[in-house]
Structure 1
Amino acid sequence: MLLATPNIAAIPLLPGFEPLVEAVGEKEHNLVAAKGAARLRLCLRAALPQCPDCLVIQNDRCAAARLAAATRFERATRGLGLGPDRVASPSAYRRSRLALLLDIQDGIDAGIPPRDLAFGLVFPRQRPLAGATWKGSGERRHTLRLIADARSLVTSGYRKLLCHD
């Protein structure tokens, strides 16, 4: 949720919301606030002093998610219930894939070889393959693709999780 405001230091925290994470920069103030299980993500950007506070919705592939976030923010400012954030929440499949990719990256960081990652995380119910069978297997190719995806997620993909470009 992008909010253009003359004073980025004054956070429009809603009653009952507590800040979880904050990052303050020269031109932006990012904040994640929580009230129970509900989360609001705010990005405050500096606007001209005479301008009123404005919600900014960029017209890109994430416009629908940003519009839903703006609606949730507006409901919260009026004291109405937020309800579940289905647009911004990843599906069950996407959550499990992201968790798998992060587990794979943790394994890579710990120095676990790809074969052990394959049969420990990706194919846990399958018996490990050895030698030439492993080298020519689809399991190896699939595991190497997942390793590449995990590295890509860690090096450049975190912002994509939040639909920022």
Structure 2
Amino acid sequence: MTIGIGRNVLRLRFEPGLSEPGAILLPPEPCARVRAQASIWFLRWLRGRSRVPSPEAARLTDFRRQRLQMLLQLLDGQNAGASPRELAELLIDPSLSSLSAAAWADCSERKKIGRWTKEANWLVRSGYRDLLQGR
């Protein structure tokens, strides 16, 4: 069985008659440790002994890392006493300072800061557990 495309291909061979798969051949290479960890997880998963996400799933993508950094900046600003409008100026667009109060009350950036604030507070309350478990 082949999984993946292009240069990211994993080939699996299941021997007929075996009740449990138990061997994975790994080429010697710079990423051997990462592949070994993924292989151990995969064998445990096949046997039904792994309830944790794969090592690859536990890694943060660049997008997720940037989002978490932004949420931490938002929390830092909140803890320093910044208003939602000041947070929007810092994190979204500095030109928001020129908006009138009425325009600010109706703008999408105000709503976005509200959503981000809820997400950041959820992360502090309990979401960090999901993050640590690779979800």
TM-score range relative to shorter protein: 0.5 to 0.7
Structure with the higher helix share, 1 or 2: 2
Specify the alignment match of 1:57 in structure 2.
50
- Rounded to whole Å, the distance in 2 between the matches of 1:88 and 1:156 is 17
Unaligned 5+ runs, structure 2: 1-32, 34-48
Deviation of 1:122 (Å): 2.5
Moved over 4 A (4+): none
Residues matched between the structures, number: 88
- Rounded to whole Å, the distance in 1 between the matches of 2:76 and 2:132 is 21
- The 5 A counterparts of 1:15-164 are 57-58=50-51, 62-63=52-53, 65=54, 68=55, 86-124=56-94, 126-128=95-97, 129-163=99-133
Q: Tell me, yes or no, if the aligned pair for 2:88 and 2:96 is still in contact at 8 Å.
A: no
- Rounded to whole Å, the distance in 2 between the matches of 1:94 and 1:105 is 16
- Rounded to whole Å, the distance in 1 between the matches of 2:75 and 2:109 is 17
Deviation of 1:164 (Å): 7.0
TM-score if structure 1 supplies the norm length?
0.48
TM-score if structure 2 supplies the norm length?
0.57
With a CA cutoff of 8 Å and minimum separation of 6, indicate the structure with the bigger relative contact order.
Answer: 2
Say which one has the larger Rg.
Answer: 2
Unaligned 5+ runs, structure 1: 1-37, 39-55, 69-85
- Rounded to whole Å, the distance in 1 between the matches of 2:118 and 2:57 is 27
- What's the secondary structure of 2:133's corresponding residue? coil
Structure with the higher strand share, 1 or 2: 1
